[in-house]
Amino acid sequence: MSINQNSIRQLVLKFIIRLLIGEDKLRFYETVDWQSQSDRFRKTNLIYPQYYSSQNFHGIEGGYLNCVAAITYDIVTAFASPPNEIRIRKQLIAAIKSQPTRILDLGCGTGSSTLMLKQNFPQAEVIGLDLSPYMLVVADYKAQQAAVNIQWLHGLAETTNLEEASFDLVTASFLLHETPPNISQLILQECFRLIKPGGQLIILDGNQKRLRHAGWLIRIFQEPYSKVYAAGSVDDWMKAAQFENVETKYIGWINQVTSGVNRVSPSNLV
Ligand SMILES: C[S@@+](CC[C@H](N)C(=O)[O-])C[C@H]1O[C@@H](n2cnc3c(N)ncnc32)[C@H](O)[C@@H]1O
């Protein structure tokens, strides 16, 4: 009997994928109708910016506007966050200085940090916003599995159209290395507009100082904007967006958490 090498390879690959993704999630990915599910979130009048729609992220054609990005994201992230993704994300929670009642997670992706925020502050209203309706499909599936209530919004982090001074806490995990620095700065200005006086912004992302010397890592993960992200400073961008008490803490080998507070303007004290 002749054995077809290609089918063996496919079987091995399928086995590895099953192992990494997990049976439940895999069944969901196999049966989901991506078009109708993403339509539940899709804002039809939203225009995707060129920097987003024209790039392949993580080597995936079409980037986050391809459901393959949503299917593979959690596995890639686990590998890209040594030594332990959960421990890294917990540093974002550890940086929270108050008991927020309204939280916005920008560029929420598949909702890993958003879920953690809701689980740590169950009384808070939590909103996750992302530009990819496919990522929101996975985020919503994960929230249902965890039995938590989170509102998912399809939108632009730099122009959310949400009410100003309406959040105690705004977070963004692993968003700013995915946007050109001028857009990252617009996002931080938008955060400042959205946060109540005294409220907090927390940015979890790659360690910029380390990434400057790790071009090979950026190439492996095929990140279009990581090099220019690494050349900048979230700290400086936040100060330029008028945040106060800005401080960056380095986590493990490759990550950083930057926190800042919206200054209390005299007009807000009246
Ligand atoms: C690397 S993923 C991070 C996802 C998630 N925050 C996490 O911690 O795993 C970056 C996410 O940002 C989203 N994104 C990129 N640019 C955006 C923008 N301008 N507005 C909103 N979301 C954006 C992408 O669609 C993607 O889901």
**Structure confidence by residue, pLDDT tens digits, 13-64:** 666 666 777 777 778 888 899 999 999 999 999 999 999 998 777 778 888 9
pLDDT tier, 234 (very low <50, low <70, confident <90, very high otherwise): very high
Look up residue 174 and give its two tokens: 């692993």
60 DSSP 8-state letter: B
Residue 128 CB burial class (10 angstroms; 0-12, 13-18, ≥19): buried
Buried b (16+ CB within 10 A) or exposed e, 165-187: eebbbbbbbbbbbbbbbebbbbb
- pLDDT at 82 > cutoff 80: no
Q: Distance between CA 153 and CA 156 in Å, rounded? A: 9
Which residue from 64, 89, 138 has its CB within 8 A of the most atoms of ligand 1, so it is best to mutate?
64
Q: Supply the angle between the helices 112-120 and 85-94 in degrees, to the nearest 10.
A: 50
Residue nearest to atom 1 of ligand 1 (CA): 174
Helix (H) or strand (E) holding 243: strand 243-251
Q: Distance between CA 256 and CA 158 in Å, rounded? A: 21
Which residue from 88, 131, 156 has its CB within 8 A of the most atoms of ligand 1, so it is best to mutate?
131
**Structure confidence by residue, pLDDT tens digits, 107-145:** 999 999 999 999 999 999 999 999 999 999 999 999 999
Q: Supply the angle between the helices 5-21 and 67-80 in degrees, to the nearest 10.
A: 70
Q: Distance between CA 236 and CA 259 in Å, rounded? A: 12
Our answer on whether the CB atom of 175 is closer than 6 Å to any ligand 1 atom is yes
**Structure confidence by residue, pLDDT tens digits, 85-108:** 999 999 999 999 999 999 999 999
- The verdict on pTM exceeding 0.85 is yes
Residue nearest to atom 8 of ligand 1 (CA): 173
Look up residue 111 and give its two tokens: 């909702």
Quote the ligand 1 centre to 3 CA distance (angstroms): 43
Q: What is the DSSP string of 37-53?
A: HHHTT--TTPPPPHHHH
Task: Provide the β-strand partners of residue 205.
Answer: 256
Our answer on whether the CB atom of 176 is closer than 6 Å to any ligand 1 atom is no
**Structure confidence by residue, pLDDT tens digits, 246-257:** 999 999 889 999
Our answer on whether the CB atom of 185 is closer than 6 Å to any ligand 1 atom is no
Look up residue 260 and give its two tokens: 């800042």
Our answer on whether the CB atom of 224 is closer than 6 Å to any ligand 1 atom is no
Indicate the residue type of 18.
R
CATH ID of 79-269, from 3.30.1360.200, 3.40.710.10, 3.90.1530.10, 3.40.50.150: 3.40.50.150
Q: How much of the chain is helix, strand and coil, in % rounded to 5?
A: 50, 20, 30
The residue among 264, 231, 41, 55 whose CA lies nearest residue 139 is 41
Contacts of 103 (CB under 8 A, 6+ apart): 117, 118, 121, 124, 125, 126, 127, 167, 168, 169, 170, 171
Instruction: Answer yes or no: are the C-beta atoms of 90 and 159 closer than 8 Å.
Output: no
Q: Distance between CA 105 and CA 201 in Å, rounded? A: 10
pLDDT, residue 13, reads 63
The residue among 265, 231, 230, 233 whose CA lies nearest residue 246 is 233
Our answer on whether the CB atom of 157 is closer than 6 Å to any ligand 1 atom is yes
Quote the ligand 1 centre to 184 CA distance (angstroms): 11
Tell which atom from ligand 1 comes closest to the C-alpha of 183. 19
Our answer on whether the CB atom of 134 is closer than 6 Å to any ligand 1 atom is no
> Which segments of the chain belong to CATH 3.40.50.150?
79-269
Neighbours of 143 (CB within 10 A): 20
